[in-house]
Amino acid sequence: MITLLRGTSFVASAYLMLASAWAQDGILDTSRHDSSLPIEIAADSMEVEQSAQIATFLGAVDVKQGDLTLRSDTLIVHYRDNADANDNAIHLIEVIGNVFFATPNETAQGDSGTYNVDNAVITLIGNVVLTNSDAVMRGDAATMNLETGQSQVTGEGDRVNVLFNAPSSDEP
């Protein structure tokens, strides 16, 4: 159920709702994410360019790292050939087509994106939709830092749109 407010109270209420819905843990609650966990990738096919240190996964790509899930049509992995045993060999993941990212409580979708493993930063571009139990946010691009919880959504040509869910009647 959506509650509509009028005048200046709408601006103040929207700001407070936005702050509680997104700012505490960022757009996605990744405050407990461990980017040093192994990354598991499954797809219909895979091509490797050893000299370029790139692996391309095609068709129904599914990536898991801990409790995070990333899906897309195509995924390009950039890896280090000389990674230490204690270092994650994958340092950048590019995703193209029907991108879907999820934590246990939130989801993010877009046309394409990247996951910088070293910096624990996810960027989504094009038709971005971010959803949690409190709100749905739409924009052209979103950047989410999995370690700090800082996030930013921008609109290019269009504005960022947020739809807040009203608290249920049994909540104080």
The CA distance from 75 to 79, in Å, is 13
Here the tokens at position 139 are 């924009």
Please list the ranges in the chain whose pLDDT falls under 50. Answer: 1-25, 86
User: What's the pTM value of the predicted model, to 2 decimals?
Assistant: 0.72
Looking at the chain, the number of H-run helices and the number of E-run strands are: 1, 10
Q: For position 24, what pLDDT does the model report?
A: 39
Give the CATH number of domain 7-164. Answer: 2.60.450.10
